[in-house]
Amino acid sequence: MIILDENLPPKAARMLDAFDRKYGVRSIVDFADRGISDLDVFKLLGEMPEKPVFITQDGRILKRPAERAALKDIDITIVFLAPNWMNFSWPEKAWKLVKAWPSVAAEVTNCRKPTVFELQGGSSLKLSRLCLTSEL
């Protein structure tokens, strides 16, 4: 399963799930109330029977020691959308997500070990491996 953070609209999860039903894309708001803290999100993700992939626009997670440690503890694959994604309108973000989706979904769901990625929002939509989650 792939879960999108609440900083991406729930319609993004529905759109990606309709585009490619293979991965079971959901929004975190399908599992928790809006406004849930990142630490509580990580706790929820860590308690899921099958570890999901988590996609977020909140790159600040890696700069906050408590959140970084919590992410390391649950040991899941996470994709951070690069900061320039925040500048896109919803229609632009939607087509970029759909365009990048086949390669992103295949790469992140086939990791041997939980990994931290970043997806650039430029014309290349490059997905970069940052590190293993255990190395945070």
Return the domain boundaries, the chain.
2-135
State how far the Cα of 120 lies from the Cα of 45, in Å rounded to an integer. Answer: 24
Name the stretches of the chain with pLDDT < 50: none
Task: Read off the pLDDT of residues 97-130 as tens digits, 9 standing for 90 and up.
Answer: 999 999 999 999 999 999 999 999 988 999 999 9
pLDDT value for 4: 97
Global pTM?
0.94
State how far the Cα of 47 lies from the Cα of 128, in Å rounded to an integer. Answer: 27
CATH: 2.40.160, 3.40.50, 2.60.120, 1.10.3470. Which one for 2-135? 3.40.50
* Alpha-carbon torsion angle 13, 52, 59, 15, nearest 10: -10
For the chain, the straight-line distance linking the first and the last C-alpha, in angstroms and rounded, comes to: 22
pLDDT value for 133: 95
pLDDT value for 92: 95
State how far the Cα of 130 lies from the Cα of 136, in Å rounded to an integer. Answer: 10
